[in-house]
Structure 1
């Protein structure tokens, strides 16, 4: 059973459909006991970083998420990936702090948001394909990076530390390759 954490800022319907297409049983919940019953956890997210952290705190999810990331595969998608890090410029707020790094606004001579298809670059050749991005902020870290995409400069696209995986793009909107990447993340990730 996969639990999608429902804190009110996620693309939950499309993600649920993608997971069910892959053959997974899915529940959408913010109930601590239900989250603890799940085999795997997905933290989705679309929207503003500070709003997301406020909702997680209001729902008293911080302690249970802290415990779950130690004991179960834990995947953050889009804003959910950014929340895994220590701090964000978006709202000048601390994140969950599970991974080292910060989140900063995309700058340079590029259109913001970073919207559309972009090619992944990775030491895992199976990941080198086009996936669908939509985000205005990006992660800055030099640790645990599995894949990047070029958008004038490198954008961290996939990270992994142990059982924690972060995916910046939307695998549920990235066709067959996105579904393969999501499935691989749920089955243990990308490091041997």
Structure 2
């Protein structure tokens, strides 16, 4: 199996690589690559992202990877993480930038003033562990109990125009979409590579998923 972790200068690549190596079948090739041809050649693609959306979109295009990424989205298992998930939508309030437009919807910022159930003010960015509620019956959730804990670091989140895309939500002052799925694509706002056993299970599922 050939697994490409897309390197466009905006991802937590070392942690993702190490997580994938732990769960990948023996004799798998795991590439952290900025080579579009490697992305095209891979059997499965992981698309991490972190930092500001304008930088991520700019770096992707400067690296000449946009075409390879768009092609992969249509024909092979594709897992987008954090800002990688956000980049799949139409538009982000962060920098007022157009994204890839694979899914209809926007990326919006948490309000400055929001509060938890206990009345305490919630910090932005959301940083730490939170429970994820599964809202879609999907192979990627196999072996992962509902309301499992995953690790988040984000100030922005996706608001899909198509509610059928939503595969998971969390509560952070409001109900927040944190996983989406359709066809060959599964994407999360949280970081599986920082989410201990449940994160590794999600990556393991990705490597055996046959959409």
Fold conserved (TM > 0.5)?
A: yes
Q: Give the alignment partner of residue 116 of structure 1, picking from 113, 128, 153.
A: 128
Q: Give the alignment partner of residue 187 of structure 2, picking from 166, 172, 183.
A: 166
Q: How far does the alpha carbon of each residue in 1:23-65 deviate from its partner, in whole angstroms, 9 at most, with x for none?
A: 2531011111111110001110110000000011111222221
Cα deviation for residue 185 of structure 1 reads 3.2
Aligned-CA RMSD value: 1.6
Change (3 A) 1:146 1:131: same
Cα deviation for residue 175 of structure 1 reads 0.7
Equivalents in 1 of 2:198, 2:13: separation in Å?
Answer: 19
**Structure 1 stretches of 5 or more lacking a match?**
none
| Residue of structure 1 equivalent to 2:7 | 6
| Residue of structure 2 equivalent to 1:47 | 51
**Structure 1 residue 129 and structure 2 residue 130: aligned?**
no
**Which shows bigger deviation, 86-95 or 139-148?**
139-148
The aligned length equals 190
Change (3 A) 1:145 1:186: farther
Q: Give the alignment partner of residue 31 of structure 2, picking from 14, 22, 27.
A: 27
Equivalents in 1 of 2:208, 2:145: separation in Å?
Answer: 15
The residue matched to 2:100 in structure 1 has which SS? coil
Alignment of 1:72-87 (within 5 A): 72-87=76-91
**Structure 2 stretches of 5 or more lacking a match?**
115-121, 138-143
| Residue of structure 1 equivalent to 2:206 | 185
TM-score of the superposed pair, with normalisation by structure 2: 0.85
8 A contact 1:86–1:94 mirrored in 2: yes
| Residue of structure 1 equivalent to 2:61 | 57
Equivalents in 1 of 2:22, 2:68: separation in Å?
Answer: 28
Cα deviation for residue 183 of structure 1 reads 2.1
**Which shows bigger deviation, 116-125 or 172-181?**
116-125
Q: How far does the alpha carbon of each residue in 1:70-102 deviate from its partner, in whole angstroms, 9 at most, with x for none?
A: 111111101111111111001111111111211
The residue matched to 2:74 in structure 1 has which SS? helix
Q: Give the alignment partner of residue 175 of structure 1, picking from 160, 178, 196.
A: 196
8 A contact 2:10–2:50 mirrored in 1: yes
